[in-house]
């Protein structure tokens, strides 16, 4: 028979630890509650931490959904559900809106809407100024006017006007 040495002692400790793993956690908890109140309190705190972590995860998920709703993403459509799961960018409504527009989930916002009102007013003034210099007249239908003329003199005046317009253009 071999003498018990350090290697056999390590094996014995491992066997004892394996035996302890087979016990029910509830029975161990009850035994420790009567034997060690500190360990019982630690178990209570561990379960409280577990529930708090679960609540924090649920709150984080709700906050994420709220960000997508604020951005205008319809969470009931199938494509939106995949988009929400896969999105890993910034959770600001603007960033989500840009990514959702790229994915064709929402319509992109007009760029003019984002322009400051002073800039828009300046563009309106330039547009109005360009229209003021426009002196073109509407085209006149001379054939209809000549057909409706009541005298020979009126026909001659219309022909003269037509010649002048042709020369000026």
CB burial readout 120-147, b (16+ within 10 A) else e: eeeeeeeeeeeeeeeeeeeeeeeeeeee
Reduced to 3 DSSP states, what percent helix, strand and coil does the chain have, rounded to the nearest 5? 75, 0, 25
Which residues are within 8 A (CB) of 22 and not within 5 positions of it... i.e. 6 or more apart? Answer: none
**Residue 110 phi, psi (nearest 5):** -70, 145
Asked whether the predicted pLDDT for residue 13 surpasses 50, the reply is: yes
Confidence (pTM): 0.41
Contact predicate 97/87, CB 8 Å? no
CA-CA distance, 73 to 97, in Å (whole number)? 8
Burial string for 51-74 (b: 16+ CB within 10 Å, else e) reads eeeeeeeeeeeeeeeebbeebebe
26 to each of 32, 66, 169, how far by Cα in Å? 10, 40, 102
Q: What is the DSSP letter of 141?
A: -
pLDDT for 48 equals 96
The DSSP 8-state label assigned to residue 73 in this structure reads: -
Higher-confidence position of 15 and 51: 51
**DSSP three-state, residue 105:** coil
**Overall size of the chain counted in residues:** 169
pLDDT at 77: 86
Query: Is the model's pLDDT at 110 over the cut of 70?
Result: no
In percent, how much of the chain has pLDDT > 70?
70
At 111 the pLDDT is 41
pLDDT tier, 137 (very low <50, low <70, confident <90, very high otherwise): low
Q: Is the pLDDT of residue 140 over 90?
A: no
């Amino acid at each position: 028979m071999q003498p018990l040495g350090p290697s056999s002692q390590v094996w014995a400790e491992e066997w004892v630890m394996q035996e302890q793993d087979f016990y029910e956690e509830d029975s161990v908890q009850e035994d420790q509650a009567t034997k060690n109140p500190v360990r019982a309190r630690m178990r209570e705190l561990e379960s409280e931490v577990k529930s708090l972590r679960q609540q924090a995860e649920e709150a984080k998920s709700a906050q994420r959904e709220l960000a997508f709703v604020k951005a205008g993403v319809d969470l009931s459509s199938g494509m939106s559900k995949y988009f929400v799961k896969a999105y890993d960018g910034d959770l600001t409504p603007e960033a989500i809106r840009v990514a959702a527009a790229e994915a064709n989930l929402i319509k992109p916002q007009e760029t003019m809407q984002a322009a400051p009102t002073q800039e828009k007013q300046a563009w309106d003034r330039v547009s109005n100024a360009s229209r003021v210099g426009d002196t073109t007249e509407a085209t006149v239908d001379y054939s209809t006017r000549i057909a409706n003329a009541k005298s020979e003199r009126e026909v001659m005046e219309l022909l003269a006007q037509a010649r002048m317009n042709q020369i000026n253009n």
